[in-house]
Structure 1
Amino acid sequence: MALITRLSRLLRADLHAVLDRLEAPELVLAQAIREMEQALDLERRRLRRLDRELQRLRERESEQERLLEQNGLALDDCLAAEREDLARPVIRRRLETERRLEALRTRRRETETERARCAPLLAERESRLADLRARAAIQDAESESDPTDCDPIWSGADPLIRDAEVEVALLQAKRRREAQL
C-alpha cells in the first residue's frame, strides 16, 4: 500500500512539473492583468451608477422638499380661512410627502454609504493593477535581456569546441606553415 501511495505521489509531482513547464508566466500575467482590468471596469461602472443614483435621489429630495413647503403654505392658507374641510387633504398630502422624503433620505444615506465603501476598494484595486503592470513590464524587460536567448558569442559564454575541430585547425595550421617554408 505504501508503495502505491509513493508511486501516485511521484506521478502527481511529475504531472505538476510538466504543467508548470507548459505554463508561460508572461501569458499567465497578461491574463491576470486582463481579468483585473475587466473587474475594474465593472467596479467603475458600478461607481458611476451609484453617482447617478445619488444625483437622482438628491433631485427627488429637493422636489419633495419643495412640495412639502407648498403643502405648508396651503395648510396655512386653509387654517387662516378656517376651512378645516380643505385642510384635511392638505395635511394628508403633507404627511405622505414627509414619508416619501424620509424614505428618499434613507435611500440616499444607504447609497452614500455604499459609494463610500466602494470608492476606496476601487482605488486599492487600481493600485494593485498598476503594480501588476509594473511587474509585467519588468518581466518583459528581463526576458528581452535574457542571456539565454542571445548568441553565445555575445553572451560571454564559452563556445563549445570539439576535438575534431581542433584536429582540423591543427592540420590547416601545419599546411600553412609548410606552404610558407
Structure 2
Amino acid sequence: MALITRLSRLLRADLHAVLDRLEAPELVLAQAIREMEQTLDLERRQLHRLERELQRLRERESEQERVLEQNGQALDDCLAAEREDLARPVIRRRLETEGRLEALRTRRREAETEQARRVPFLAERESRLADLRARAAIQDAESEPDSTDFDPVWTGADPRIWDAEVEVALLQAKRRREARS
C-alpha cells in the first residue's frame, strides 16, 4: 500500500509541475527569449572576433608576400654579383618566409571556412529569435483586454425588431438592386 501511495504522490507532483508551467507560458517564453538573446550576443562576439582575426591574417599574409618579394630581389642581386656566400642566408630567409606564408594561408582558409559556417547559423538563430519575439507580442496582445474588442457576452436586452423595419429594409434592398441593374 505504501508503494501505491508514493507513486500517486509522485504522479500528483509531476502533474502539478506541468500545470505550473502551463499557467505561466509568458514567463517561460520570456525566459527563452532572454536565453536566446544571450546566446546570440555571444555568437555575434565570436563572429566579430573571427572577422578581426581574418583581417589580421590577411594583413600578415600581405606583409609576408612583400618580404618574399624583397628576398627575391635580394637573391637576384646576389646571384648577379656572383656572391653565393651572400645568397645562402637570403635563400634561408626566403624559405622561412614561404613556410610562414603557407601557414598563414592555411589558417586564413580555416578561419574563412569557420566564418562561412557561422554566418548562416547566426542568421537562422536570429530568425528563430524574431519568431519567438513575434509569438511573445501576440501572446501579450491576447492577454491584454482591448476596449475596442467586441464583448461576446451580451449584457443588454435583445433589441426588438419591428415588422415594419424589416419591410422598409426589404424595400431599400430592392431599390439598390434595381439601381445597379
Give the shorter-chain TM-score range. 0.7 to 0.9
Q: Distance in 2 between matches of 1:9 and 1:139?
A: 36
Higher mean displacement: 137-146 or 127-136:
137-146
Q: Under a length normalisation based on structure 2, what TM-score does the superposition of the two structures give?
A: 0.77
- Give 1:4 shift: 4.9
- Give 1:155 shift: 5.8
Q: Distance in 1 between matches of 2:30 and 2:57?
A: 40
The answer on 1:9 being equivalent to 2:7 is yes
Match of 1:170 in 2: none
Match of 1:130 in 2: 130
The answer on 1:89 being equivalent to 2:98 is no
| Percentage of identical aligned residues | 74
What root-mean-square deviation, in Å, do the aligned CA atoms of Structure 1 and Structure 2 show?
1.8
Amino acid at match of 1:123: A
Q: Under a length normalisation based on structure 1, what TM-score does the superposition of the two structures give?
A: 0.77
1:156 paired residue among 138, 153, 165: 153
Q: Distance in 2 between matches of 1:69 and 1:62?
A: 11
Change over 3 Å in CA distance of 1:68–1:36 after alignment to 2: same
Please list the CA deviations of residues 61-98 of structure 1 after superposition, one character each: whole Å capped at 9, or x if unmatched: 00000000000000000000000000000000000000
- Give 1:52 shift: 0.3
Q: Distance in 1 between matches of 2:17 and 2:154?
A: 30
Amino acid at match of 2:130: A
Match of 2:61 in 1: 61
1:16-35 superposed matches below 5 A: 16-23=14-21, 24-35=24-35
Match of 1:74 in 2: 74
Q: Structure 1: any 5+ residue segments left out of the alignment?
A: 147-153, 159-181
Higher mean displacement: 100-109 or 16-25:
16-25
- Give 1:105 shift: 0.2
Match of 1:151 in 2: none
Q: Distance in 1 between matches of 2:52 and 2:118?
A: 15
- Give 1:16 shift: 1.9
- Give 1:21 shift: 3.3
